[in-house]
C-alpha cells in the first residue's frame, strides 16, 4: 500500500472515531424534534424579553414624572410662639406675646411650570420611542438568529443528501478495486471524504446548540431545551424601493422619533434656562394669636429671589442648555445618516443575494450536478479518475451551501431593513416543500 493510501486510511479512522463520539454526545436527532416558527419566537420575546420590559417600565416611570414637573412646590406651614421677656410666660399678659401661624406658597414665574412639563413630556415620548426601538431590535435579533439556525439545519440536510452520493462513489471504487480496475487508494479516498462530512455534521450540531442558547436568551426563556427544526422562511420580495424606504424611515423610525423628541426637550430646556433670569415669588399669609383682651393680628407678605449672580449661574445654564441642544441636533443628523447607510447596505446585500441565488439555482447547481453524474459514470467505465468525481461533488456541495447562505443573508438583510424603517413586519413561514428540499 502506498504512503498516500496509508495517510488516507489513518485520516478515515480518526474521522470515524470523532464522528461516533460526536453523535453520542447529541441528545436527539433533528427528525425527532418539533418544528420551530419565527412568529412564535417573536411573540414570546415581545412578552418576555427583559430588555423590552425594561424600556416599557422606563416609559411608564417617565410618564409619571410629567404631572410632578407641572405641579407647584409643596406649601409651607409655620407654627410658633413669641414671648416677651425671659422670666416668665407672658401670654395674655403682654401685647407682644402670641402664637404665630403662617402659610406660604412658592409661585414660579409664569411659564416655568409649563416648560418643565414640556421637558418631562418630551423625555417620556423619547423613552416611548426607545421602547419601540427595543421591540424592533428584538424582532431583528431573533429573525437573524432564526435564519442562522435554519441555515445550520439546512447544512445538515445537504450533508446527509450528499453523503449518499459519496456512498455511490465508494461503491463504484470498491467495485473497480474488486475487479482489478482500481486501487485501494481510490476506495480510501471515497471513504475519507464521506467521513469528513460526518465531521462537518458534528460541528453543525454544536453550532445548533450555540444558536439555541442565544435564542433562549433573546426571547427571555430560561432553560436550554431544544427549540426544534426551523420552518423555512417564505421567500418574499421587498415591497418598496430604497428611496421609498428612506421616506418611510423619516416618518416611522423610532430612532428618528426619539431624537426629534430629544431635540424638543432640549429646546424646552433652553427656554427654561432663559426663564430662570426671572424671579420666583413666595406668598406668605400669617395670623398672630394673642390672649386676653389683646386683638389678634394678621399679615400677608411676598418675597422674591434676586438673580444677582446670573453671570455665573443663569447665564452659564443657558450656555449649557444651548450646547445640549446642538448635541441633540447633531445626534439626530448622525442617526439619519446611519439609517440611510444601513438601508443602502442591506438593500445592496438583498439584491446581490437574490441575483446569486438565481445564478446558483438556475445554472451552476444543476450543471455541476450533471458534471458529477457524468464524471461518476466515466469513473465507473474507467474513463475518468476518482479525484475528478470527488472534486465535482465537493463543488456541488459548496454551491448548494452558498445558495442557502445567500438565502440566509437576504432574509437577515430584509429584517434589518424592516427594523430601520420602523416596521414590525415579520417574515412569513411555510413548511418545506418537496421541491425546496431537492
Question: pLDDT tens digit string along 125-147?
Answer: 999 999 999 999 999 999 999 99
pLDDT, one tens digit per residue, over 171-214 is 666 766 666 666 666 666 666 766 777 777 888 888 899 999 99
R_g over Cα of the chain:
38
pTM: 0.77
Q: Which three cell numbers stand for residue 81?
A: 410662639
Residue 78 per-residue DSSP state: E
Q: Is residue 359, in this structure, part of any structural domain at all?
A: yes
Q: Is residue 437, in this structure, part of any structural domain at all?
A: no
How far apart are the C-alpha atoms of 114 and 117, rounded to whole Å? 5
How far apart are the C-alpha atoms of 249 and 406, rounded to whole Å? 26
Distance of CA 307 to the CA centre of its chain: 48
CATH number of the domain that 16 lies in?
Answer: 1.20.1600.10
Residue 239 per-residue DSSP state: S
Kindly indicate the confidence band of residue 71, based on its pLDDT and cuts at 50, 70 and 90.
very high
How far apart are the C-alpha atoms of 210 and 218, rounded to whole Å? 13
Kindly indicate the confidence band of residue 397, based on its pLDDT and cuts at 50, 70 and 90.
confident
Higher per-residue pLDDT: 363 or 425:
363
- Helix extents (H) in 50-108: 50-70
Cβ–Cβ under 8 Å, residues 18 and 203: no
Q: Is residue 36, in this structure, part of any structural domain at all?
A: yes
Q: How far apart are the first and last CA of the chain?
A: 39
Distance of CA 205 to the CA centre of its chain: 25
Specify the pLDDT at position 266. 95
Specify the pLDDT at position 5. 43
Q: Is residue 429, in this structure, part of any structural domain at all?
A: no
Q: Is the dihedral of CA 178, 184, 186, 191 positive or negative?
A: positive
How far apart are the C-alpha atoms of 363 and 210, rounded to whole Å? 34
Kindly indicate the confidence band of residue 91, based on its pLDDT and cuts at 50, 70 and 90.
confident
Q: Is residue 239, in this structure, part of any structural domain at all?
A: yes
Q: Which three cell numbers stand for residue 357?
A: 441565488
pLDDT over 90 percentage in the chain: 50
Q: Is residue 85, in this structure, part of any structural domain at all?
A: yes
pLDDT over 70 percentage in the chain: 81
pLDDT value at 7 more than 70: no
How far apart are the C-alpha atoms of 272 and 265, rounded to whole Å? 10
Dihedral class, residue 164 (left if φ above 0, else alpha if ψ from -120 to 50, else beta): alpha
Report the range out of 6-20, 318-332, 342-356, 414-428 with the highest average pLDDT: 318-332
Kindly indicate the confidence band of residue 166, based on its pLDDT and cuts at 50, 70 and 90.
low
Cross-strand bridge partners of residue 36? 230
Kindly indicate the confidence band of residue 53, based on its pLDDT and cuts at 50, 70 and 90.
very high
Q: Is residue 208, in this structure, part of any structural domain at all?
A: yes
Q: Is residue 430, in this structure, part of any structural domain at all?
A: no
Q: Is the dihedral of CA 330, 332, 333, 334 positive or negative?
A: positive
Give the least confident one: 46-50, 246-250, 275-279, 387-391. Answer: 387-391
Q: How many domains, in total, are found in the chain?
A: 1
| Burial of 301 from C-beta contacts in 10 A (0-12 / 13-18 / 19+) | exposed
Domain limits for position 154: 3-420
Amino acid at each position: 500500500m502506498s504512503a498516500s493510501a496509508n495517510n488516507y486510511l489513518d485520516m478515515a479512522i480518526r474521522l470515524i472515531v470523532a464522528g461516533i463520539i460526536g453523535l453520542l454526545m447529541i441528545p436527539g436527532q433533528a427528525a425527532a424534534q418539533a418544528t420551530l416558527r419565527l412568529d412564535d419566537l417573536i411573540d414570546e420575546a415581545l412578552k418576555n424579553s427583559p430588555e423590552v420590559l425594561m424600556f416599557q417600565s422606563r416609559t411608564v416611570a417617565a410618564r409619571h414624572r410629567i404631572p410632578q414637573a407641572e405641579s407647584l412646590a409643596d406649601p409651607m406651614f409655620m407654627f410658633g410662639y413669641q414671648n416677651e421677656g425671659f422670666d416668665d410666660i407672658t401670654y395674655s399678659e403682654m401685647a407682644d406675646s402670641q402664637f404665630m401661624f403662617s402659610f406660604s406658597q412658592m409661585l414660579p414665574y409664569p411659564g416655568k411650570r409649563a416648560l418643565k412639563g414640556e421637558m418631562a413630556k418630551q423625555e417620556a415620548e423619547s423613552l416611548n420611542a426607545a421602547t419601540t426601538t427595543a421591540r424592533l431590535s428584538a424582532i431583528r435579533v431573533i429573525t437573524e438568529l432564526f435564519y442562522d439556525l435554519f441555515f445550520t439545519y439546512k447544512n445538515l440536510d445537504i450533508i446527509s443528501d450528499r453523503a449518499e452520493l459519496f456512498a455511490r462513489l465508494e461503491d463504484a471504487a470498491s467495485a473497480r478495486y474488486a475487479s482489478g480496475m482500481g486501487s485501494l487508494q481510490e476506495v480510501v479516498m471515497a471513504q475519507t471524504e464521506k467521513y469528513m462530512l460526518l465531521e462537518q455534521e458534528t460541528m453543525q450540531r454544536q453550532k445548533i446548540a450555540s444558536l439555541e442558547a442565544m435564542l433562549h436568551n433573546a426571547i427571555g426563556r430560561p432553560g436550554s431545551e431544544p427549540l426544534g427544526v426551523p420552518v423555512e422562511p417564505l421567500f418574499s420580495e421587498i415591497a418598496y424601493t430604497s428611496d421609498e424606504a428612506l421616506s418611510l424611515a423619516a416618518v416611522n423610525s423610532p430612532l428618528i422619533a426619539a431624537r426629534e423628541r430629544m431635540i424638543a426637550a432640549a429646546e424646552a430646556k433652553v427656554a427654561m434656562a432663559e426663564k430662570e433670569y426671572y424671579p420666583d415669588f413666595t406668598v406668605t399669609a400669617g395670623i398672630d394669636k394673642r390672649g386676653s383682651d389683646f386683638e389678634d393680628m394678621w399679615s400677608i407678605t411676598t418675597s422674591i429671589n434676586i438673580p444677582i449672580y446670573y453671570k455665573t449661574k443663569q447665564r452659564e445654564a443657558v450656555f449649557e442648555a444651548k450646547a445640549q441642544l446642538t448635541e441633540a441636533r447633531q445626534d439626530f443628523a448622525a442617526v439619519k445618516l446611519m439609517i440611510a447607510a444601513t438601508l443602502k447596505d442591506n438593500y445592496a446585500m438583498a439584491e446581490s443575494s437574490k441575483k446569486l441565488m438565481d445564478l446558483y439555482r438556475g445554472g451552476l447547481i444543476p450543471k455541476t450536478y450533471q458534471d458529477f453524474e457524468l464524471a461518476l459514470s466515466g469513473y465507473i467505465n474507467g474513463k475518468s479518475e476518482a479525484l475528478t468525481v470527488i472534486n465535482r461533488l465537493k463543488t456541488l456541495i459548496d454551491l448548494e451551501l452558498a445558495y442557502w447562505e445567500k438565502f440566509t443573508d437576504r432574509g437577515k438583510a430584509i429584517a434589518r431593513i424592516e427594523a430601520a424603517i420602523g416596521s414590525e413586519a415579520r417574515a412569513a413561514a411555510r413548511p418545506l416543500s418537496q421541491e425546496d428540499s431537492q
